Structure 1
Amino acid sequence: MSAVPMTDDRVRVLIVDDTPDIRLLLRMSLERYPAFRVVGEAGNGLEAHARAREEPPDVVLLDLAMPVMDGLAALPGLRRIVPRATIIVLSGFGADRMAERALSAGADGYLQKGASPTTIVEYVSALVSERSVVPLSLGQRRRAEGPVAEGVEGEKVAADASGVLDAALRLAPYGVVVLRLERDRTVVVDANPAAVRMLGATGAIDDRPLGEVDESFASLVERHRAALSANRAVDVELTAGATPLEVRLRGEGGLIACYLDDRPAGREGALLRQALATVAHEIRNPVVVLQGIAETLGLDQSPDRRAQLTGAIARQARVLERVTADLLGAAQARHGKLEVQVEPVRLADVITHSVQGVPNLDDVDVIGDAAVRVMADPLRLQQILANLLVNAVKYGAPPIAIRLEPLADQVRISVEDRGPGVPAAFRPLLFTEFARAAQTTSRGTGLGLYVVRSLVEAQGGQVDHEDHPENGSIFRVTLPSAPEDGPRA
């Protein structure tokens, strides 16, 4: 490989990724070469800013999809803190879709996750030496350059394409609306006939304030103004008149593109597409880690390093097992085929196994008598607790606790965290299939709490949520208690 020339100072690297095992793999790959020194690690953009201030790096390896602050949001701050650093974005998102945004936000290079550790090190070395920007893909160059033909012929091609697009929008079964954000109002720039019909308007709505067309639509846009002004996408539901609509809003340079769908199948299709995308993201990191370890294990490693890698394999295998268990559980619940085998179960054993299967869970307090027993399927109860703990890690914040409360003929098991809590608008969807709160930056399939509810109810129990009195969330599972003289699981 092309190595960075040795100097008195090694190349200082900051690794930013919310998956500790990916950080471990990158650290081990870089430290095989004496030219590199890893000076810090961070699990989100805010932590990356703090680490960069503590010890300024020469290179930042930056993940895009992270909680608290994602990579794109962190890039401008990193550029201010370490203006001379080489910032390389690592992401599981498609390069054609995200590379240009990452580069325009200040990144010097872009690599998709899944590249081998050796490839990553070679790329970092080359980019540090040359400080060159990754060339755009052919498709991106074509989009940036416009029509290949020049002069009159090029203008004709563009005009023809514009006419075809206008005709397609007029005939589209989806509603398409373009809005313009102004200081104190939102104005309709254009709308196709389907959108006019869905919004219950009469006549053209171009150049009209959105509030005059549909107050609820205008209120919805206003609630998400900050995200749309930052060029983000928002998926929401809207009732226009008596018609429920699925709405996607995407901000871009002061304009908002709105896509409306009033067909029942539209929601099912959207849910399926979302499920496929989120499941792909959820399993991407474990696959990346396992691929990297397969390459790294073939190298000469110390016993300590081999133990670290073996531990990473076990952790990522548990992540894959949890995702596949949720997919299977959701499918069984939807088709009424969810089976449980209820028996007396001692909670201490289930809690131990559940905690071991949760990545990034540093500590959890168990409050109450863990020797108490419930009537439950032990494997299903382990899945329930693991999902609630994963939810607390992803969307909440420490301290995380499991509280056990014996009742008259039941036992209440609560998982508590001190995070930001559940947004009020999202609470009705909390235990529904594929539900994820808008603007969340954490990865997830949207199935975890749906599976929890399905499994709890299948075992004769109930699950609910309430706000923690000191900020955060409390998820409570209530199950029948086991008879005193029953056998122990």
Structure 2
Amino acid sequence: MIKVLLADDETMMRAGVKAILSSDPGIEIVAEAGDGREAVELALKHRPDVALLDIRMPRLDGLGAAEELRRVAPETALIMLTTFSEDEYIARALGSGVSGFLLKSGDPRELLAGIQAVSEGAAYLSPEVARRVIAQLGTGGRLSKAAEARARLEPLTGREREVVALVGSGLSNGEIAERLYVVEGTVKAHVSAVLARLGLKNRVQLAILAYEAGVVGDDEREAGA
């Protein structure tokens, strides 16, 4: 059972999201918050697996709540839910340690898929957000970015680079473990070590680095070798 905290200051929107989540028997809504400060307090009390945060909330907005939760409840995966798709929100959210970013206008199935993904340790971006991130990676200085990204990955071991490529492909720890024929705990250890060594906050940032370095898909070539 995936325990979820839902935080949104709009009562009707919160009710709609709650109805979607309630359709999945594998998800339990353990708390609801109407602002960011309350979301942090309830997260500390209920220790949810996933916190679903609206970006614009009173007292403390979703981005501020995400930054605080990363400090006080690092075991809780964070998904940002918003009607806004401006690049500045995406960049700030990813920099806050968020594992998922979904648009309220998206398909309800994306919401369920996103919660499942981040609860398993994977990252999840809605297709609209993913297109924007990839578009940013493809504009201005791509070659220099690629070279810089590859240089950052160079000190990693071969197995660590395999894990990075698979994280960039959007696989969860369990899926990576199956692909590499290791136990899930080993994958978690590799991911934690790589994040610490590269100075990254979460898997989303690691996935972006994998895209910049052009290593996404390397795992497929190695599997077929």
Q: What TM-score does the superposition give when structure 1 sets the normalisation length?
A: 0.27
1:88 is aligned to 2:79: yes
Question: For residue 18 of structure 1, what is the amino acid of its counterpart?
Answer: D
Q: Which has the larger radius of gyration?
A: 1
Mapped to 1, the partners of 2:143 and 2:136 lie a distance apart of: 17
- Kindly indicate whether the alpha-carbon contact (under 8 Å) linking 2:49 and 2:77 is maintained by their aligned counterparts in 1: yes
Question: For residue 116 of structure 2, what is the amino acid of its counterpart?
Answer: S
State the number of aligned residues: 139
Q: 1:61 to 1:139 in 2, by over 3 A?
A: same
Structure 1: gaps spanning 5 or more residues: 1-9, 151-489
Hey, what does 1:141 align to over in structure 2? Answer: 137
- Kindly indicate whether the alpha-carbon contact (under 8 Å) linking 1:75 and 1:107 is maintained by their aligned counterparts in 2: yes
Please state how far the C-alpha of 1:27 moved relative to its aligned partner. Answer: 1.4
SS in 2 for 1:12: strand
Q: 1:22 to 1:138 in 2, by over 3 A?
A: same
Hey, what does 1:105 align to over in structure 2? Answer: 96
- Of residues 51, 57, 75, the one that matches 1:66 is 57
Mapped to 1, the partners of 2:124 and 2:19 lie a distance apart of: 26
SS in 2 for 1:69: coil
Hey, what does 1:26 align to over in structure 2? Answer: 17
1:122 is aligned to 2:113: yes
- Kindly indicate whether the alpha-carbon contact (under 8 Å) linking 1:89 and 1:102 is maintained by their aligned counterparts in 2: yes
Question: For residue 72 of structure 2, what is the amino acid of its counterpart?
Answer: I
Please state how far the C-alpha of 1:43 moved relative to its aligned partner. Answer: 0.9
Mapped to 2, the partners of 1:95 and 1:126 lie a distance apart of: 23
Structure possessing the higher relative contact order (Cα contacts under 8 Å, 6 or more residues apart): 2
- Kindly indicate whether the alpha-carbon contact (under 8 Å) linking 1:13 and 1:39 is maintained by their aligned counterparts in 2: yes
- Kindly indicate whether the alpha-carbon contact (under 8 Å) linking 1:59 and 1:86 is maintained by their aligned counterparts in 2: yes
Q: 1:108 to 1:97 in 2, by over 3 A?
A: same
More helix by share: 2
Hey, what does 1:76 align to over in structure 2? Answer: 67
- Kindly indicate whether the alpha-carbon contact (under 8 Å) linking 1:17 and 1:62 is maintained by their aligned counterparts in 2: yes
- Kindly indicate whether the alpha-carbon contact (under 8 Å) linking 1:61 and 1:88 is maintained by their aligned counterparts in 2: yes
Question: For residue 142 of structure 2, what is the amino acid of its counterpart?
Answer: V
Please state how far the C-alpha of 1:133 moved relative to its aligned partner. Answer: 5.4
Deviations 1:158-177 (A, max 9, x none): xxxxxxxxxxxxxxxxxxxx
Mapped to 2, the partners of 1:132 and 1:90 lie a distance apart of: 14
More strand by share: 1
Mapped to 2, the partners of 1:80 and 1:64 lie a distance apart of: 18
- Kindly indicate whether the alpha-carbon contact (under 8 Å) linking 2:50 and 2:118 is maintained by their aligned counterparts in 1: no
**Which residues of 2 match residues 249-328 of structure 1 at below 5 A?**
none
CA RMSD across the alignment:
1.9
**Which residues of 2 match residues 178-189 of structure 1 at below 5 A?**
none
Question: For residue 139 of structure 1, what is the amino acid of its counterpart?
Answer: A
- Kindly indicate whether the alpha-carbon contact (under 8 Å) linking 1:57 and 1:82 is maintained by their aligned counterparts in 2: no
Hey, what does 1:322 align to over in structure 2? Answer: none
SS in 2 for 1:137: helix
Question: For residue 147 of structure 1, what is the amino acid of its counterpart?
Answer: G
Please state how far the C-alpha of 1:15 moved relative to its aligned partner. Answer: 0.3
Deviations 1:102-156 (A, max 9, x none): 011111110111113232112221332342254562232145xx42355xxxxxx
**Which residues of 2 match residues 448-467 of structure 1 at below 5 A?**
none
Please state how far the C-alpha of 1:81 moved relative to its aligned partner. Answer: 2.6
Q: 1:149 to 1:89 in 2, by over 3 A?
A: closer
Hey, what does 2:200 align to over in structure 1? Answer: none
Mapped to 1, the partners of 2:88 and 2:138 lie a distance apart of: 14
Structure 2: gaps spanning 5 or more residues: 145-225
Mapped to 1, the partners of 2:23 and 2:59 lie a distance apart of: 31
After the TM superposition, which parts of structure 1 deviate over 3 Å for at least 4 consecutive aligned residues? 133-136
Q: 1:147 to 1:46 in 2, by over 3 A?
A: same
Hey, what does 2:208 align to over in structure 1? Answer: none
- Kindly indicate whether the alpha-carbon contact (under 8 Å) linking 2:7 and 2:14 is maintained by their aligned counterparts in 1: yes
Identical-pair percentage: 33
- Of residues 2, 15, 22, the one that matches 2:6 is 15
Mapped to 1, the partners of 2:39 and 2:12 lie a distance apart of: 17
Mapped to 2, the partners of 1:149 and 1:59 lie a distance apart of: 36
